[in-house]
Structure formats: C-alpha cells, structure tokens
Amino acid sequence: MDTGHHSYRLFSRSDFSAFWALFTDNLVNLIVLSGICRFVFGMPGEIVFGRIVPGAAVAIIAGVAVYVWLAKRTAERTGRDVTALPYGISTPVMFVYLFGVIGPIYWATEDPVLAWQVGIGAGFIGGIVAAAGALVGPWLKRVTPRAGMLGTLCGIALVFIGTVPLATVFEDPYVGFASMIIILWGLVGRFRLPGNVPAGLLALVAGTAVALALGKAEIDTSNVGLYLPMPYLGDLVAGISHLFANPELFLVLVPVQIYNFIETMNNVESAEAVGDSYPVGLCQVTDGVGTMIGAVFGSPFPTTAYIGHPAYKRMGAHSGYVIGVGTVIPLAAFTGGLALLNGFIPTAAAAPVLVFVALSLITNTAQSVKPAHIAAVTIAMMPHISSFLVTKWNAMMSALAAGGAEGLPALGDPQLTANLLMQGAHYQGHLLLSQGAILTGLIWGAIVADVIDGRFRAAAGFAFAAAVMSAFGVIHAASLQWPTPTPVALGYLMAAAFLAFYPVLHRDETRGRADAPAAGLQPGE
C-alpha cells in the first residue's frame, strides 16, 4: 500500500510510557559504563562526564534523527502507523570494549587517558566495520531463517538483559521489588495504573523513594556543570596510532563489530516480525556512522538499534519516545545531570525495565515463528548460556585473585579443566560455545530451521560457513588466526557434507518432508 498521504503523528499518548522504558535502558548503560571507567580504570570525572558521556549523547542524537526519519518515511510508504527503532549504546559490545580494549591498555600502562584514547580509536574503526556490514546485511537477512536471527537475540535477552538485572533486583530486594511489581503490573500485565501514570516512571520513583528512605541513594552535585561536546581529533589520532602499534587489539575489535552489525540485522528482523519493515543496510550504516561520530566526540562505545522494538510496538509507541530520549539524555549529559542521576537512582530500581524488555522479546519471538521452529529458536539461545557461564567463571577467578588468593591456576589450565569436568562443569565445551556466541547461535538456529523445512542444501551452506569462520577464529576461538583445521572446523565440514549429500541419497524422503515444512517435532522423531 503506497498512499503517500498518510498523516503520521510522531507523538502518541503511548510514547510517554515507552519513553520511560527506553530512557531507563539507556540510563542503566550510562551509569554502568561511567562507574566502571571511574572506579575500575581510574578515569577522572572530567573524562567520564566531560568527554565520554557527552560523546555518547551526540551519537544518540545522530542515530535518533535517522531512525525517526525512517519511521516517518515507512509510515508514509505503507499508509499505517509504525514504531521507530529504539537506539542507544550496545550493551554486550559495551562490556567487550570496556574489558577487551580499554581495560587491557589501562592495566598495562596505568594511564587512564591513554586507555580512553585507544577506546575512541577502537570505536571509530569499529564503526567502519559495523557500517561495512551493509554490504552483506541485506543478503544475510534474505537467506537466514527468522528463527536463527531472533533465537540468538532471545539468548542475549534471556541471560544478559533478563537474568542479570533480575539478580540485581534480588540483591537489593526492598528497592528492586518495589520497582519490579509495578513493571509487572503496568507493562507485562498491561493494567492501567492510577491516574494513567507511566509504569516505567512510577517504578523508578518508587524504587528511588525506597532507596532514599533506606539511605541507599545520595544526591552528589560534585560533577554537575556545563559539558559541551567537542571533537577530540588529536586524541582520536593518538588512539588509532596506538592500535596499529598493537595490532593484537584488532583481534578483539573486528569480531565484536561483526557481532554488532549482525545484532542490528537481527533487531531489524524483530521489528519486521511485528509489522514494521526497515531497510537493514541503511540501519547498519546508521549504527556504524553513529559510532564513528560518537568516537570523534569522545565516546568509545558502539551504538546500535536496540533489542526491544516489539515491546515498544506493543505499548503503541510511534516516534515520540525515541525523540524524547534523544532530547533528555543529551540535555542531562551536557549539564552533568547524568552524573547526578548516577548516584541518585539505584540500579535495582531501573533493572526491572530490562527484565520487561527481555520478556517481551522472547514472547514475541515465540509468536512470530511457526511452531516447528521453536526448536531452532531454543538451540540458538544455548551458546549465550555458555557465554554467561564463562563470563562469570572469569569474574569469579578475578575476584579470588583480588581477595588475596595465591597460586590459583588460570582458567584453561589442563588440570583445572579436568577437575572441573569431573565435577560436571564442562569448561572447554562452554568456552568454545561462548566464543562468537551470537554467530554460533544464529548458525545453529538457521541449520535446525532449514533441516525442519527440508532445506538441506541451505543448512549445508550454513554449516560450511561455520567451518570457514571456525578455521579463521571468528567463532570457537580466542582470536583471529590463519586458517587452521581445528576439530570444530572439521566437525562442521562433516556436517556440511552430510547435509549436502543426504538429498541425493534420499530424494523421495526429502521431497515429502519439504512438502510439509510446518510439521512439528513429534515424540520419538
């Protein structure tokens, strides 16, 4: 339907509720990265609140402008209302940049300024890689089953966006439960709150009020001030120069940015699953360019179209909610307001909003794929559980070392790995699954979906692609490498060969199976 005359309202009443959910999502990321940069990497407030946070705000402004324009154009093209894609700092990639790029530089040099410079250099180059995803993104979207793309997002949502915030709620139950029950009531249950107050706003207010009453929140105005965004070209060049002098950092940078542009592709697919179709290539370019702009203005952290569009679509949002975030976050960043909120709003009060986003994404995925493909969605989620386990095992070992424990073997030590296996902890297998988890989940989800539909050659293509990526170290390896015939790579080749030749040997059976692609798994199959 192409009317060209549809009057699309940028703002709707529902945007107010959606604003508080997306604002909280962005706020949590900014609070977390600010705390880690200040208290773990020793960066002064002048860098964190004077450069990084304003730079991230500039990147958010740039991306929001494009996504609002895309929503308006799509509404006019289709003749119906649409929900703009949510946008902000990529949560999983943020942690990789913190502990895979910025952290190693700081720990090696104890120079927080150099660590920040390398961070923005990595962000700028990473933005180029993310934008380059537009060259292959549309094709990947065409050939990859929806169950694979959405299933791997569900894995991220389950463990990192849902489980971790839920644990935060239970760590501070007075604050967390006060906020959580309101989110469940107003956003999950969709019951009207008194006075039509947005559930996200009421949850933040309730949680913060409890924290203030218990003395767990404070008002700190020491970092409030005017922080106008400025380009830091000299620092950017210094950071890029250091990167090229230490090329091993690219082994972290390139795979994670491949993850980032695939995350964008998957998020665009989740929007299409609920009726809002956006051009994936343009979205990938937007995310890459937004990241580059943020780096020029001082933010190392990549931006992306967020997970969670189905949740905002369900709330009835148009574009006003992202316009609101693109206005309030920069104002707070440029005036030091985010520094004030950093100490004022406890994490446990904001965490339930992320739990809601995770619940919405997983629920919508179950409704948007055919029943037979739930098996594909499920297997696509599993590598992210391994990623979660390995991340927490590493954190545990670091905590033991920081607590003064001596003589600890490193994770991966053969004897420790053997002892863990005897206790039922399959460290080696989880490690392999965790490396490149989003790609691994997508690939296995696609293989299973194609096998269910009888599309064996398509499944073989994904298995062969996994073999090549595994040989180069893109997945199932700690870093990129020259092509190596690893056991996992050879295993993928065996699977690809079987899938490719099976239709030749069983033509009648595969033809019949393909005629009924929607058939579900039956007991004993």
Residues recorded for the chain: 525
Domain presence at residue 237: yes
Same domain, 331 and 451: no
Please, which pLDDT band fits residue 1 given cuts at 50, 70 and 90?
very low
- State the pLDDT at residue 55: 95
Q: Mean pLDDT over residues 350-374, rounded?
A: 85
Give the CA angle between residues 508, 442, 380 to the nearest 5°: 85
More confident residue, 342 or 239: 239
- State the pLDDT at residue 62: 95
Same domain, 247 and 270: yes
- State the pLDDT at residue 5: 59
Mean pLDDT, the chain, rounded, equals 85
Domain presence at residue 4: no
Q: Mean pLDDT over residues 391-403, rounded?
A: 84
Same domain, 388 and 320: no
More confident residue, 3 or 97: 97
Same domain, 325 and 415: no
- State the pLDDT at residue 256: 64
- State the pLDDT at residue 471: 94
> Which domain does 66 fall in, by range?
14-369
pLDDT in tens, 180-198: 999 898 888 878 777 667 7
Q: 374-402 vs 437-452: helix axis angle to the nearest 10?
A: 160
8: nearest Cα among 95, 51, 70 = 70
- State the pLDDT at residue 512: 43
- State the pLDDT at residue 517: 43
Same domain, 355 and 435: no
Same domain, 201 and 309: yes
pLDDT at 29 over 60: yes
Using CA atoms, how far apart are residues 502 and 496, in angstroms rounded to an integer?
A: 10
Using CA atoms, how far apart are residues 137 and 279, in angstroms rounded to an integer?
A: 10
Least confident of 10-19, 218-227, 359-368, 460-469: 218-227
More confident residue, 314 or 174: 174
- State the pLDDT at residue 233: 95
Total tally of structural domains belonging to the chain = 2
- State the pLDDT at residue 520: 42
Domain presence at residue 521: no
Q: Tell me which range, 57-71, 250-264, 342-356, 401-415, is most confidently predicted by mean pLDDT.
A: 57-71
Least confident of 19-28, 98-107, 124-133, 167-176: 98-107
CA distances from 348 to 72, 115, 121, 162 (A): 35, 29, 33, 13
| Spatial contact of 518 and 371, defined as CB atoms under 8 Å apart | yes
Least confident of 6-15, 202-211, 230-239: 6-15
pLDDT at 53 over 80: yes
- State the pLDDT at residue 140: 77
CA distances from 257 to 133, 282, 406 (A): 9, 16, 36
Give the CA angle between residues 430, 436, 438 to the nearest 5°: 100
Written as one letter, the residue type at 146 is: R
pLDDT at 369 over 90: no
- State the pLDDT at residue 519: 40
Please, which pLDDT band fits residue 308 given cuts at 50, 70 and 90?
confident
Using CA atoms, how far apart are residues 386 and 269, in angstroms rounded to an integer?
A: 24
Please, which pLDDT band fits residue 251 given cuts at 50, 70 and 90?
low
CA atoms within 13 A on the CB side of 355: 26
- State the pLDDT at residue 17: 82
- State the pLDDT at residue 195: 67
- State the pLDDT at residue 100: 67
- State the pLDDT at residue 346: 83
Least confident of 249-253, 462-466, 476-480: 249-253
pLDDT at 107 over 80: no
Domain presence at residue 5: no
Same domain, 204 and 321: yes
- State the pLDDT at residue 3: 47
pLDDT in tens, 467-519: 999 999 888 988 778 899 999 999 999 999 999 988 877 665 554 444 444 44
Same domain, 325 and 389: no
Same domain, 126 and 74: yes
Domain presence at residue 213: yes
437: nearest Cα among 153, 199, 196 = 153
pLDDT at 246 over 60: yes
Instruction: At 155, list the tokens.
Output: 């894995």
pLDDT in tens, 198-228: 787 888 889 999 998 998 877 777 777 889 9
| Spatial contact of 301 and 94, defined as CB atoms under 8 Å apart | yes
Domain presence at residue 518: no
More confident residue, 4 or 56: 56
What pTM, to 2 d.p., does this model score?
A: 0.70
Same domain, 360 and 293: yes
520: nearest Cα among 316, 370, 348 = 370
Same domain, 112 and 168: yes
Sole residue written with tokens 């006060």 = 178
Same domain, 351 and 388: no
pLDDT in tens, 410-435: 888 899 999 999 999 999 999 999 88
Residue percentage of the chain with pLDDT more than 90? 37
